[in-house]
Structure formats: structure tokens, C-alpha cells
């Protein structure tokens, strides 16, 4: 019997004999696994110490962690895990895609892992609700699509949550220079409303986290996210809110729009919204424009101007307002636009920083402050609205 068969055999015996392994503590689980390995070893063939240690870990991971995925989640060089089906797994290791040489034992095993992931954060994914966004307990993003939507089988994409990247580290990585970082620090502390845009994988959440370092620690801050990823540790008076999906009866949903409205009743000094994707954009803009200076948020777009256009569309999802009224709301709410980009060499950089001014003939008018010239971020303008500066 090979190592994999040992693992499967022990796991089956554990499941048969233990009514609820998840309620046992780690020591109890490991003791039972050790007993089973010893029993099977006496009745089969002896194992080398290295094999026993590997078998012990793999069985434990199957029961208490995420089975074969635990190895990838522990590997700091793996940035993203892409499960196309139970027997087809790709990974992004140091910016390069490659097919992993391991697979799940069956479709059922992958589905069990999926239910384990969503169950830990009170999310539901099933035939009626086959697409869900979730997260692991370390903050890693998880996107799940079930059959029949996913034709090849259950599909899972995990974007791992890196260790907290500070503004100092972003400077070291070349994502931003010291001059620009100090400028942004001054804007955050002075209460400018800043909106961060960027494409997929450009580092919007990472940058928002780094920018949040500059929020004065004596303020009351409310964070609102679809899946909690922000890590603001220096602010004492902090409330973190996270959306909730519908239950099996189709009730109990708490969306971003509801959370932003709730946050306004919590007496915040500033609100940090993880990412706006829909009609909650209107509530976010209204919050920025009603005394909550210094609010921060992010959105998906290909440029600063593209972000303004997308915000218009998102506001229209909420209310059928005249375009001029929407533009006036946007221009009076957002002070600074920061656009991020992922370069061909995989570097993530601050690509543009622009000041949003008052409308000019009903059109947006911006003042470009910094721009990436292909090598460095260079200053190309001076802040015109300095009324908020300390």
C-alpha cells in the first residue's frame, strides 16, 4: 500500500469512527491519526520516519485544513491557485503560470473543501446560488463557480493574501517614490477624499491598506467590504463591516449599500469602502460629500477618466438621475484620483495621480499631479485645491 493509499485509508477510518472531527482540538486529532498510523503499520508494512511525518501532515490537512491546497497556501512563492476541475490545478508561482502535479481524489473531495471554505464565513454556494465570493481566514480571496455553470466541474480561484505591505515596502519595490508617498500622506491626514482605481491584479486593496496607515489613530473609522481584507491595526476606534449573502430561504442579505447607510449612523470621522462595484457608489459619494472628509475607496477601471465614467454608470444603477447631477456629485465628492497599473514585467506601480476639479462646461476637469513616465513617477502639476491642507 503506497503513501497515498495509507492516507485515504486512515482518513476513511477517522470519518467512520469520529462523528465530528472538526469539534476535536488539534492534539486530539493528531493523537487519533498517530494511533491509526501505528495500527495500520503493524498490520501492513513499516514506514520510514519521513514517510510517517508526511502521512501524518497530509491526513491532518485533509481533516482540519484544506487538504492538498494547504501545501500551496503555505508556499509563499505561490500567488494564485486556479482549480479548473478536481483533477486540473494551475498555480501562479512568482508571476509564472504552471500546472500543478497534484489533484483531488474526486469531485466530491473538492466539493467538500468548497463547503468547508464557505461555511467558515457563513456563505452559501449551491445549485441555486452557484457563484460566490468568499475568503479564507487569512484574508485570501476565493471565487467559486459550481456546475452546471462551470462545465468542467467546480472551479475555484484563490488569490492569496500577502503579508501586510506597508507604504515603506511599496517604496522599496519601486511602486511609488518617497516624494509621492509623503504627498499622499499629507492628503490623507488633511482629509482629502481619495479614490483608487486600477485593473485586475493592479494592487488596489494592497495600496488602500498602505494608504490607510496615514489615517490619524485618534479618529473613528468604519471599513466596509464585500470580503474583509483591510488590515488597519493602528486605529483604536475602528468598526469593520462585511456583507452577507442570502440564506437558503433567500433572505437575510446585507449588501454594500445597506452597510454604507448603516455606517453613516455610527458617527464615523471617515469611511473606507473596500471596492465599489454597483449602486452602492451613490451612497459612497453622498457619504464623502456630507462631512466625512478623508474617506477612501477603490474601483475597477483602466484610467482615471475611465473610473469617472464607470462611477456614473454605477450611480445610474441606483437612481435614474440626470447626467449633470451625477457629474456634479462626483466632482464635489472626490478630491484625488490615484490610478494603479500592472506593468508587463509584473511590477505594480502608481501610474497617475490627478486632482478632480469643478466641472467645466458640464465636463470633468482634472489636474494631473504625478504621472509614470515608463520608468519613474514624476511630478507634473501642483495641487490647486489646498483649502483642506493642514
Query: What confidence tens digit (pLDDT) does each residue in 154-168 have?
Result: 999 998 876 778 999
| Cα–Cα distance for residue pair 298/288, rounded to 1 Å | 13
pLDDT in tens, 191-217: 999 999 999 889 899 999 999 999 999
pTM: 0.78
Q: Quick check: 22 pLDDT over 60?
A: no
- Strand 237-242 and strand 366-372: the pairing is unpaired
| Cα–Cα distance for residue pair 276/254, rounded to 1 Å | 15
| Cα–Cα distance for residue pair 185/188, rounded to 1 Å | 5
pLDDT at 167: 95
pLDDT at 46: 73
pLDDT at 137: 79
Phi, psi of 194 (to 5 degrees): -120, 130
* Between 194 and 119, the higher pLDDT residue: 194
Starting at the edge strand that comes first in sequence, how are the strands of the sheet with 96-99 ordered? 96-99, 88-93, 78-85, 155-159, 141-145, 131-135
C-alpha pair distances (Å), 28 with each of 25, 60, 65, 380? 5, 11, 15, 63
pLDDT at 385: 87
Confidence of residue 74 (pLDDT cuts 50, 70, 90): confident
| Cα–Cα distance for residue pair 51/235, rounded to 1 Å | 47
CA triple 246-250-252, angle to 5 deg: 45
Cell 515596502 found at: 169
Confidence of residue 285 (pLDDT cuts 50, 70, 90): very high
pLDDT at 295: 94
pLDDT at 193: 96
| Cα–Cα distance for residue pair 48/69, rounded to 1 Å | 24
Amino acid at each position: 500500500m503506497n503513501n497515498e493509499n495509507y492516507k485515504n485509508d486512515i482518513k476513511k477510518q477517522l470519518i467512520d469512527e469520529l462523528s465530528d472531527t472538526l469539534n476535536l482540538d488539534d492534539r486530539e486529532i493528531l493523537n487519533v491519526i498517530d494511533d491509526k498510523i501505528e495500527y495500520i503499520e503493524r498490520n501492513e508494512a513499516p514506514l520510514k520516519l519521513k514517510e510517517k511525518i508526511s502521512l501524518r501532515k497530509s491526513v491532518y490537512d485533509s481533516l482540519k485544513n484544506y487538504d492538498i491546497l494547504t501545501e500551496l497556501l503555505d508556499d509563499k512563492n505561490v500567488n494564485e491557485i486556479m482549480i479548473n476541475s478536481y483533477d486540473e490545478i494551475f498555480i501562479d508561482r512568482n508571476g509564472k503560470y504552471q500546472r500543478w502535479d497534484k489533484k483531488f481524489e474526486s469531485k466530491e473531495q473538492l466539493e467538500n473543501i468548497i463547503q468547508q471554505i464557505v461555511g467558515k464565513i457563513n456563505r452559501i454556494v449551491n445549485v441555486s446560488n452557484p457563484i460566490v465570493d468568499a475568503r479564507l481566514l487569512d484574508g485570501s480571496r476565493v471565487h467559486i463557480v459550481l456546475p452546471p455553470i462551470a462545465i468542467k466541474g467546480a472551479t475555484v480561484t484563490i488569490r492569496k493574501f500577502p503579508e501586510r505591505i506597508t507604504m515603506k515596502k511599496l517604496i522599496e519595490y519601486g511602486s511609488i517614490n518617497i516624494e509621492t508617498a509623503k504627498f499622499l500622506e499629507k492628503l490623507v491626514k488633511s482629509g482629502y477624499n481619495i479614490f483608487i482605481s486600477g485593473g485586475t491584479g493592479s494592487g488596489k486593496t494592497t495600496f488602500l491598506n498602505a494608504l490607510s496607515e496615514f489615517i490619524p489613530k485618534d479618529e473613528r473609522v468604519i471599513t466596509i467590504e464585500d470580503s474583509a481584507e483591510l488590515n488597519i491595526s493602528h486605529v483604536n476606534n475602528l468598526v469593520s463591516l462585511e456583507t452577507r449573502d442570502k440564506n437558503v430561504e433567500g433572505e437575510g442579505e446585507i449588501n454594500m449599500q445597506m452597510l454604507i447607510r448603516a455606517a453613516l449612523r455610527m458617527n464615523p470621522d471617515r469611511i473606507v469602502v473596500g471596492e465599489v462595484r454597483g449602486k452602492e457608489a451613490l451612497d459612497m459619494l453622498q457619504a464623502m460629500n456630507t462631512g466625512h472628509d478623508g474617506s477612501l475607496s477603490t474601483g475597477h477601471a483602466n484610467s482615471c477618466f475611465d473610473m469617472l465614467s464607470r462611477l456614473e454608470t454605477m450611480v445610474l444603477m441606483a437612481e435614474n438621475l440626470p447626467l449633470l447631477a451625477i457629474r456634479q456629485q462626483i466632482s464635489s465628492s472626490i478630491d484625488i484620483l490615484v490610478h494603479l497599473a500592472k506593468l508587463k514585467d509584473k511590477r505594480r506601480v502608481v501610474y497617475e495621480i490627478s486632482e478632480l476639479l469643478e466641472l467645466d462646461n458640464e465636463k470633468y476637469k482634472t489636474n494631473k499631479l504625478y504621472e509614470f513616465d515608463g520608468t519613474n513617477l514624476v511630478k507634473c502639476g501642483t495641487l490647486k485645491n489646498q483649502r483642506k491642507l493642514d
